[in-house]
Amino acid sequence: MGHRLFDLKGRRALITGSSQSIGFALAQGLAAAGAQVVLNGRDSAKLAAAAARIAGTETLAFEATDHAAVRTAVDGFEADGKPIDILVNNAGMQHRAPLEEFLADAFERLLQTNIASVFHVGQAVARHMIARGAGRIINIASVQTALARPGIAPYTATKGAVGNLTKGMATDWARYGLNCNAIAPGYFDTPLNAALVADPDFTAWLEKRTPAGRWGRVEELQGACVFLASDAASFVNGHILYVDGGITASL
């Protein structure tokens, strides 16, 4: 039985914000497990370049924060006979500033990109999954779903919301055969964290603070994603899986 539990052959996976970084790494992992991968983003040229790096990949460009655009894209894709069996809500952004100086428009952008997109895309895809009686939704949360750091309070708020929306999705949709879970990455070496990776003081703090003693590599998120997308996680629902080198386990 073993490895067949993790076999994703015959399943189609849509990953939002997947032309680079964590989203692209997750797409690679799902493809390696046999899934037909659908890359998403706003920039068609970047999407095409990313798709060329994974054999057999499809693309679906839409703005994840635009409810109507999401519905049109997802419904049209499904109408073409391309059911979405797995959804990874990965699109996200970061903005750093002291809370007392945080700009209102930056706060609104974080809300739209990090949490509203999870609602918009999750709802659009789930309606089709519910009709089929099966589906996997994996939301990308964060170590900030559980912890806070100075200068990113609004980001922390959005990722806390992702965690609770995941629980809400499971509560509403598990009865229809959907499994809704989240992956919460710790500190990974990504373009989003480039300034922190380049800061020797921050890296020294992180290495001391994290039991594993290092930054994470994006490839280390693939196994968690394949697990939650697969039959191995058939009774896992509403769970937030921290992949963080132990940082949430240790003071």
How far apart are alpha carbons 236 and 183 in whole angstroms? Answer: 12
172/165 Cα distance (integer angstroms): 10
DSSP string, the chain: -GGGGG--TT-EEEETT-SSHHHHHHHHHHHHTT-EEEE--S-HHHHHHHHTTSTT-EE----TT-HHHHHHHHHHHHHTT----EEEE---------GGG--HHHHHHHHIIIIIHHHHHHHHHHHHHHHHT-EEEEEE--GGGT---TT-HHHHHHHHHHHHHHHHHHHHHGGGTEEEEEEEE-SB-SGGGHHHHT-HHHHHHHHHHSTT-S-B-GGGGHHHHHHHHSGGGTT--S-EEEESTTGGG--
Catalytic residue flag (residue 155):
yes
- Give φ, ψ of 201 to 5 degrees: -65, -45
Residue recorded with tokens 């132990």:
246
User: How many angstroms separate the CA atoms of 202 and 241, rounded?
Assistant: 25
Which residue is it, tokens 């659009």?
A: 124
Residues noted as catalytic = 155
